[in-house]
């Protein structure tokens, strides 16, 4: 099956590419999870985060924002000892802060999707050099998220989040998923 240039032969990566990445997602729980995971990726490769995703689900209460908003400093210190996750204090503190900011939003899924007009933006890129690392929409989302109290939400992270959740469809035209998602 032809896949996007970034997808390696790792079965976990292929499953993510084939079944998740670029598929429009509107479920608030999944959007929150992906926003946090994209923040954990900062400075790292996505496959690193993907390999740790299940452990994150275990130790971060299934990404439940209510529980994460109440996470204590002691719990963050415990998590800093867990080799199954990315042990970065700033990123773990961001989980708590972002959960609180998420809970303060009236309708986070609708609000996030508003940055692309409520519908997926379908791109028709042919190769790696065509795909931007950020867009005006991602910059606007980043500024709005920061204003709402979020952290680890720069424009590049926001664009990766938009790609992952199907707000923008950046599968290249030679990828099998492109045809399926354009329909």
Annotated binding-site residue numbers for Zn(2+) = 4, 17, 171, 175
Residues carrying an active site annotation:
16, 38, 46
**C-alpha 46, offset from chain centre:** 10
For residues 123 and 169, the answer to whether their CB atoms sit within 8 Å is yes
Report the C-alpha gap between 78 and 44 in whole angstroms: 22
- Which residues are annotated binding-site positions? 4, 17, 171, 175
């Amino acid at each position: 099956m032809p896949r996007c240039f970034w997808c390696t032969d790792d079965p976990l990566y292929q499953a993510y590419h084939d079944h998740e990445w670029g598929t429009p997602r509107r479920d608030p729980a999944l959007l929150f999870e992906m926003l946090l995971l994209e923040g954990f990726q900062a400075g790292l490769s996505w496959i690193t985060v993907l390999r740790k995703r299940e452990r994150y689900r275990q130790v971060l209460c299934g990404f439940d924002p209510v529980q994460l908003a109440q996470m204590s400093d002691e719990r963050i210190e415990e998590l800093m000892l867990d080799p199954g996750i990315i042990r970065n204090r700033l990123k773990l503190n961001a989980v708590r802060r972002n959960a609180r900011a998420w809970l303060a939003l009236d309708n986070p899924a609708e609000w996030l999707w508003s940055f692309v007009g409520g519908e997926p933006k379908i791109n028709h890129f042919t190769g790696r050099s065509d795909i931007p690392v950020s867009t005006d929409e991602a910059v606007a989302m980043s500024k709005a998220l920061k204003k709402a109290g979020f952290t680890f939400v720069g424009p590049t992270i926001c664009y990766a989040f938009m790609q992952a959740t199907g707000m923008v469809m950046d599968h290249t035209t030679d990828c099998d998923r492109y045809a399926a998602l354009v329909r």
